[in-house]
Structure 1
């Protein structure tokens, strides 16, 4: 009982700190190459999908050869709220067997019991800086994971929080000082703060996952001036992936990640990752912006893991920059059952 109390208190403290600590950017949502490392930012329905508290700290640097190049920082934490289920979740234990269906002979469930509804709680902060633009968001997220069968669950989630966008007016030079857009930004001291909502669904089993989410549901106005029509864009995300056991030690994860905000062309990532004994992994992906990415990661011990990715584009701007670097540090907490990650 006392252990469960400490678990819940830790989860509330971490997620509460994440929301309170938020403070200040650009008008487009940032994009991560290692989206699977920080899924609750994309789809709140993934909150609590892991069998432990999953904490991620990440940094992404784009176009490192250019002045004012984009930089992104994030920290997230989420975990399932404990249930009274006595299920052992053998299928997701770190020890794997050649035929996963044999697990069903021992327990007819997946991830804490198929007969139980699982709840997840989490939160995140993101800070995105692009030249004179800056955007910081702080959100709390919740998801309910509903059993649809022995090996299938549907998660429905929502996240709510605040986004602050800033423009450094002191670095802006305009030809026409009476330009309405410039005056609107100056009157707001170059910033706007809005409350917003994201929502998503995530269908998953031991073999696959597919998810849809929508961000910026409120489509807030960017200016207080009602004569200027400028709104945040409702953004749609989709994720699809397979989990294939190639052997007792090797797993393959092919997947697709899609994003569309209504103002720009659809973007998508197609790739695959292989993981050896839940310890090391490596992968490749292609983005339809003429970009390829290589990535790799390692589970250092039962608590710490780290991963790195490098994007290289084939567009003309690559003559001026050296690519995109992204590094993620992960912490696995309260994993007493040694459950293997689902999305890692």
Structure 2
């Protein structure tokens, strides 16, 4: 009876996942959250909820100009954990974005089912739902009204101790904006991601990753990056984004992100991230291009060093 019930859960989640992947193009509102996928993989893939098999919380603060009082900032929060002896993962995310052209406030909940395929490999199938509150502009793009829109996403995450591969659509639903131009800038991306961990020595760990993003009316985007941890205490990293340009914008989208992290005790990880470009800018812009982010990650009862 237990085996039958487990198979039904897996079949249901898998069915929803593949059905959503086959859907038509729609819109997304969580660009800021998506760009934090290295620090919070659940941002683009709900199947990551519970992968670390311990409760984790991550808070990130994003700001363009630190020296200018009242400058726009964005905040994100994510938490996830497991229950049912690690078979089920749950997650929660919150977003308050004030730095992009289309400010968004949203909350999202994730659920994942983790199936053991062998002694070394596990497959996670996840779904995510929530609400985005976004500004919808009138035809003149002068005034706007905040509108609550539903959000739904799916994903799969295959992993071993040292490798992982993921595929996901974190936004599936199709909000309607009529013939307003705002609709052109909200897209539903399809994500393919892979990465792993390799010991370069007794005290040096390499964590490379690659991300491929496909979406309608945009060029194929590829991110290549890696982080290096020393004695599981200090980590530095860099990633480079190539492609992803839109036919609606003439501005370049290639950019680099640099990172520095430090493990404070067993429970706390602090991080600073600098992007050479604010990726959500959709029109030509001659001002400062960089963006700063601060991270606080807290794990109450860690089961070893958290690599991902």
Tell whether the structures are fold-level matches, with TM greater than 0.5. yes
- Asked whether the equivalents of residues 278 and 291 of structure 2 are also in contact (C-alpha less than 8 Å), the reply is no
1:51–1:341 contact (8 Å) kept in structure 2 = no
Bigger Cα displacement from structure 2, 246-255 vs 230-239: 230-239
Distance in 2, Cα, partners of 1:126 & 1:39: 15
2:174 to 212, 219, 231: 219
Aligned residue pairs total 266
Q: CA RMSD in A?
A: 3.2
- Return 5+ residue gaps in structure 1 as ranges: 1-25, 84-116, 170-179
**Radius of gyration: which is bigger?**
1
1:205 to 157, 160, 163: 160
Cα offsets for 1:29-87 (capped at 9, x unmatched)? 2256552211112100000111311100002234779999764310010011151xxxx
Native 8 Å contact 1:81 1:118 kept in 2:
yes
SS at match of 1:40: helix
Instruction: Point out where structure 2 has 5 or more consecutive residues left out of the alignment.
Output: 1-27, 243-252
Contact 1:69 1:131 in 2 (8 A): no
Instruction: Determine helix, strand or coil for the equivalent of 1:48.
Output: coil
Alignment correspondent of 1:172: none
CA distance in 1, matches of 2:65, 2:288: 5
CA distance in 1, matches of 2:115, 2:203: 30
Which of 293, 296, 300 does residue 260 from structure 2 map onto?
296
1:156 aligns with 2:125: yes
Deviations 1:103-139 (A, max 9, x none): xxxxxxxxxxxxxx62111100012224663111100
Query: How much does 1:304 deviate?
Result: 1.3
Question: Within 5 Å, which residues of 2 pair with 1:42-57?
Answer: 42-57=44-59
Q: Answer 1 or 2: which has greater helix percent.
A: 1
Q: Counterparts in 2 of 1:65-80, with a 5 A limit?
A: 71-80=73-82
* 1:282 CA drift (Å): 0.8
What SS class does the counterpart of residue 103 from structure 2 fall into? strand
Deviation at 1:181, TM superposition (A): 2.2
Secondary structure in structure 2 of the residue aligned to 1:51 = coil
1:197/1:132 Cα in 2 relative to 1: closer, same or farther (>3 Å)? closer
Aligned-partner Cα distance in 2 for 1:211–1:142: 16
Cα distance in structure 2, aligned partners of 1:322 and 1:132: 14
**Cα 1:132/1:342, change in 2 over 3 Å:** closer
1:272-295 superposed Cα distances (whole Å, 9 cap, x missing partner): 111122222111111123312211
1:234 is matched with which residue? 188
Higher relative contact order (CA 8 A, sep 6+): 1
